[in-house]
Structure 1
Amino acid sequence: MLYSLSKSFTSTALGLALDEGLLRLDDRVVDFFPEYRELATDPGTRAMRVRHLASMSSGHTRDTWDEVFESDPADPVRGFLRLPPDREPGTVFAYNQPATYTLGVILQRLTGTTLAGYLRPRLFEPLGIGAPGWQQDGSGRDLGFVGLFLPTDAIARLGELYLRRGVWRGHRILSEGWVAEATRPQVPTGDENPDWAQGYGFQFWMSRHGYRGDGAFGQFCLVLPEQDAVVAYTGATVEMQAVLDAAWRHLLPAFGTAGSAADDAALAERLGRLALPPVPAGDQRPGNWSLAPATPGDTPLTGVQVRDGELVLCEPGTELRLRLAPGRWTVTDEPVPAAASGGWIDGTHLAVDVLFLEAPHRLSVTADVTAGTFDARWVTAPLLPPSLRLLRS
């Protein structure tokens, strides 16, 4: 679950469409939506260009997604075009989700397919990336600004394509001109975090070293031209600046040193014993219980069932059945890939952690079977509506 790292793939779709002559960076946004042209009466909206969407410089000074979606859930593009920019487009940066969403809708209109469908023969297949999942809006359009699911290896491949200036294994995929434009500062950014204060390209962030695509909770594609390297990282953290600080502190100096067979062996040994510790729990207790929420929570769960050696998480339309084994993690693939660990902590209380294997999210569930209630809390709460079904490709 790449969160906003999805934007760099939408940017790549834009680069391909530009190379194919389907549009130009200086095309007016309103001209792609003639049915809404009369609604877009503000001069700033009428002056907005494709390049402003791609560089997060639409003229708005904030992320307007909640405003846009609440005002027009049927078509956020219409809501976006109704919302006048605060400044002249191109003069101010704001990380504004409707800008990328609207860019994605333009590309899907021009190509007659989804973003994933357009990218499949042009990017995913040439780079050896399998068919991805991309969450869609109610009209069947890929969201563009978020919602893409890909393995870490695919992130590394995208980074290498940009590192090689659009060439993959001797074959040109993207024009060199597009790569240069997308990965240079198009608009200044102001932020207290140093790696978010280096400027913004076309859906790529500039970094203190190189440039990157990134997504919430630590999804990173770091491209380091000076080191001739790419770092692909999928994590589950809110301390994203700390991840970059660690990369600059530890990885950059290591690029200039020679390793040894002993170093490789020590690394392999360390990687071989890395594991997430299981949740402490006692032996299983026979019996069956149906539990209700103890308090209104921030999860979609309407009920929890405890059966012999099994925990069942219930939300409307979905039951996630998790086998419990004290002292270890157990994995289930359907309906949502997840790993569970935990069990009975005394005669009446149960504690289980659930890791969602395709998303950077962990759910902690505690239950009191005597009271017939449970509590569920996200360790890191999803940014999208927290349906369990959305946590898989």
Structure 2
Amino acid sequence: MINVAKLEEMEARLPAYPSLYGICILRHGQLLYERYFHGCTAETLMDLRSATKSFTSAVLGTVHPVQQNVQNSLLDGLKGWHSERSYDLEDLLKGREDGSLKRTMTLHHALSMTSGFQWEVGRKFGEKHIGGLHHSEDWLRFILEQSMHGELRGHFQYCSLDSHLLSIYLSDTTGKSMALLAEERLFHPLGIQRYTWEADPQGHTQGHVGLSMAIRDVAKLGQLYLNLGMWKGSRLLGESWIRQSWTAHSAEVTEHGRYGYQWWNQIIQGTMVHFALGHGGQYLFVVPSKNLVVVMTSNPKVSRWKNPKHLLASFILPAVQHSE
């Protein structure tokens, strides 16, 4: 049974979250609750911001399902550069003190954001120099020109550079953009037909942001992970990949939990919750012990907002706390 009174109590509080665009709750794969605000509907493509990162991880998991592959050198995968890349990566690294460190960066480091880039980030993960990336003519060149330090390697540092490197790696090693791989391996099987995913100037799908999608379709990725990679009798993702994505690979970050492979993992109200997080209040929550998937989307252009994550802790989890 669901504690309907708790959900009604939550609904009464929703006006206190002025940036909230929509909320969708699935239990046992069935739509339990859905509301939209500010002119948004079930058809609205929501800008997921950094929640995009969890989709990037999922696409990589369809290409590299075997756990040991994450120890592959990331830059080795970029040496077969596209024809439009007019420079040799070795030329960029030659003479740099951090050249050897960058050569030993693995997929695991990028996935877990433990690569060692020196990257300035605020308390809410605002990235001071992300505009420099977005305004550069060559994003890969910009990334490889950023400093990397050995003492930072292995320690979590929120860094969108890592996420975009994963996309470049995918396109270089497969010859297909990450968006096309997502279409073939995830979106088409999941029945996701309407979305947009922006690319960098070289045509690489943005690995850290840029994905816009309807809330119900975002929930499909959550349900796929809840089902440990199975969808309507077909396996789209390996169970081991999902478990690695939900494994903490670094120390705890205050208010956010611990980072896996482009997924956050946190105990909330005594319950383990895995989630994708984007600026402004974009969330995809997966709660295996409660067979629960929750999507929240919000205005992505705000600088300050009331975090809708509190709705999960205060109302949604209590509503299913004692139900099967």
Shared fold (TM-score greater than 0.5)?
Answer: yes
Q: 1:120 offset after TM fit, Å?
A: 0.9
SS of equivalent to 1:184: coil
Is 1:13–1:115's contact at 8 Å kept on the other side of the alignment?
A: yes
The amino acid across from 2:274 in the alignment is Y
Choose the corresponding residue for 1:7, options 53, 56, 59.
53
The amino acid across from 1:18 in the alignment is H
5 Å-filtered alignment, 1:1-393, equals 1-19=47-65, 24-34=69-79, 35-40=88-93, 41=96, 42=98, 43-63=100-120, 66=129, 69=132, 73-88=136-151, 90-191=153-254, 194=255, 196=256, 198-208=257-267, 209-236=272-299, 242-256=307-321
Shift in alpha-carbon separation, 1:199–1:31, aligned structure 2, 3 A: same
Q: 1:183 offset after TM fit, Å?
A: 1.2
SS of equivalent to 1:211: strand
Is 1:28–1:47's contact at 8 Å kept on the other side of the alignment?
A: yes
Is 2:281–2:307's contact at 8 Å kept on the other side of the alignment?
A: no
Q: 1:103 offset after TM fit, Å?
A: 1.0
Q: 1:88 offset after TM fit, Å?
A: 4.3
Task: Output the CA distance in 2 between the equivalents of 1:70 and 1:247.
Answer: 34
Shift in alpha-carbon separation, 1:162–1:70, aligned structure 2, 3 A: closer
Shift in alpha-carbon separation, 1:150–1:211, aligned structure 2, 3 A: same
Shift in alpha-carbon separation, 1:103–1:89, aligned structure 2, 3 A: farther
Q: 1:218 offset after TM fit, Å?
A: 1.2
SS of equivalent to 1:207: strand
Q: 1:91 offset after TM fit, Å?
A: 1.9
**Residue correspondences, number:** 254
Structure with more of its chain in helix, by fraction: 2
List runs of 5+ in structure 2 lacking aligned partners. Answer: 1-46, 80-87, 121-126
Is 1:72–1:79's contact at 8 Å kept on the other side of the alignment?
A: no
Q: 1:232 offset after TM fit, Å?
A: 1.1
Q: What stretches of structure 1 move > 3 A for 4+ residues in a row? A: 67-72, 87-90, 237-242, 256-259
Please say which of residues 47-56 and 32-41 is displaced more in the overlay. 32-41
Is 1:53–1:100's contact at 8 Å kept on the other side of the alignment?
A: yes
Q: Higher relative contact order at CA 8 Å, sep ≥6: structure 1 or structure 2?
A: 2
Task: Output the CA distance in 1 between the equivalents of 2:318 and 2:177.
Answer: 42
TM-score by length of structure 1 reads 0.59
Q: 1:176 offset after TM fit, Å?
A: 0.6
Q: CA RMSD in A?
A: 2.6
Residue by residue, what CA displacement relative to the aligned partner does 1:134-165 show, whole Å, maximum 9, x if unpaired?
11111222111100011000111000100111
Q: Percent identity?
A: 28
